Structure 1
Amino acid sequence: MDIIFNPPVNTENQYIRLLVNELHARGYRIHPLDTIFSSYRHFRSIKLVHLNWFENIDDSSFFKALRSFVRKLTVLTAIRLAGKPLVWTLHNRASHEKGAALFSRMLMRLLVRWSDVIIIHSGQSENVLASYGASVLERVAYVPHPHFVGVYGSAVAAYPHKENGLRLLFIGMVKPYKNLELLIDIVGTFGHGVQLTIAGKAIDEGYQRKLANRAAHVGNVTLLPYFIPDGELTLLLGHTDAVVLPYDLASSLNSGTAILAFSYRKTVICPEIGTIADLGNHVADTFCYRYDTAAQHRKALKQQIERALTRKREDPHALDDMGERLYRHMAAAHDPQRVGDELARLYRHALDRRRRGNKKDG
Structure 2
Amino acid sequence: MPDRSLVVFPAYRDNPYLNLMLLAPRARGWNVLESLRLEQLEQHLGHLGTGDVFHMHWTSPIVQRADDDLASAGLRLDRFRRGVDAARSRGARLVWTIHNVLPHDARHLELELELDRYLAATSDAVHVMNRDTAAAVAPYYALDGARVVHIPHPSYQGVYPSSGSRSEARTRFGLGDTDRAVLAFGQMRPYKGLDVLIDAVRRIPSADRPVLLLAGRTSDEDRASIDALLGDDVRSVREHDHVEDVDVQRWFRAADVAAFPYRRVLNSGSLHLAASFGVPAVLPDEAHLRAEFGDEGWVRWFDTADAAASLAAVLAEPVGSAEGAEEFSRRLAPFARSREYAELLDEVATSTSPER
SS of alignment partner, residue 43 of structure 2: coil
The residue that corresponds to 1:100 in the other structure is 108
Shift of 1:299: 2.1
The residue that corresponds to 2:301 in the other structure is 288
Deviations 1:7-32 (A, max 9, x none): 33331x21011112222112111002
Determine if contact 1:55/1:107 at 8 Å carries over to the other structure: no
Q: Aligned partners of 2:101 and 2:213: how far apart in 1? A: 27
Alignment of structure 1 residues 230-241 onto 2, 5 Å: 230-241=245-256
Alignment of structure 1 residues 1-362 onto 2, 5 Å: 1-11=4-14, 13-33=15-35, 34=37, 35-38=40-43, 42-44=47-49, 47-55=52-60, 57-63=63-69, 66-83=71-88, 84-130=92-138, 136-154=144-162, 156-159=164-167, 163-190=177-204, 191=206, 193=208, 194-202=210-218, 204-248=219-263, 251-272=264-285, 274=288, 277-282=291-296, 284-292=297-305, 296-306=306-316, 309-311=317-319, 318-319=320-321, 322=322, 324-332=323-331, 334-353=332-351, 355=352, 357=354
SS of alignment partner, residue 38 of structure 1: helix
Shift of 1:206: 1.8
SS of alignment partner, residue 25 of structure 2: helix
Q: Which moved more, 1:164-173 or 1:237-246?
A: 164-173
Q: Give the TM-score of the pair, scaled to structure 1.
A: 0.83
Q: Aligned partners of 1:206 and 1:129: how far apart in 2? A: 30
SS of alignment partner, residue 144 of structure 2: helix
Q: Aligned partners of 2:139 and 2:125: how far apart in 1? A: 17
Shift of 1:339: 1.6
Q: Aligned partners of 2:181 and 2:236: how far apart in 1? A: 10
Shift of 1:228: 1.1
Deviations 1:45-95 (A, max 9, x none): 8811001112454353452x6535532441233212332211000111222
Deviations 1:169-212 (A, max 9, x none): 1111111111112211221233253111111121x312211211
Which amino acid in 2 is paired with 1:196? L
Q: Aligned partners of 1:68 and 1:272: how far apart in 2? A: 35
**Given the superposition, is the C-alpha separation of residues 128 and 185 from structure 1 closer, same or farther in structure 2, using an over 3 Å criterion?**
closer
Which amino acid in 1 is paired with 2:315? I
Determine if contact 1:197/1:223 at 8 Å carries over to the other structure: yes
Q: Aligned partners of 1:122 and 1:269: how far apart in 2? A: 17
Determine if contact 1:147/1:263 at 8 Å carries over to the other structure: yes
**Given the superposition, is the C-alpha separation of residues 304 and 40 from structure 1 closer, same or farther in structure 2, using an over 3 Å criterion?**
closer
Determine if contact 1:55/1:105 at 8 Å carries over to the other structure: no
SS of alignment partner, residue 273 of structure 2: helix
Q: Aligned partners of 2:213 and 2:122: how far apart in 1? A: 43
The residue that corresponds to 1:314 in the other structure is none
Q: Aligned partners of 2:303 and 2:98: how far apart in 1? A: 22
Shift of 1:326: 0.9
Q: Aligned partners of 1:221 and 1:55: how far apart in 2? A: 32
Which stretches in structure 2 are left out of the alignment for 5+ residues? none
Which stretches in structure 1 are left out of the alignment for 5+ residues? 312-317
Q: Aligned partners of 2:254 and 2:271: how far apart in 1? A: 17
Pairs aligned (count): 337
Determine if contact 2:303/2:310 at 8 Å carries over to the other structure: yes
Determine if contact 1:8/1:20 at 8 Å carries over to the other structure: no
> What is the RMSD of the two structures over their aligned residues, measured on CA atoms?
2.7
Q: Give the TM-score of the pair, scaled to structure 2.
A: 0.85
Give the structure with the higher percent helix: 1
Q: Aligned partners of 1:118 and 1:192: how far apart in 2? A: 49
Which amino acid in 1 is paired with 2:149? A
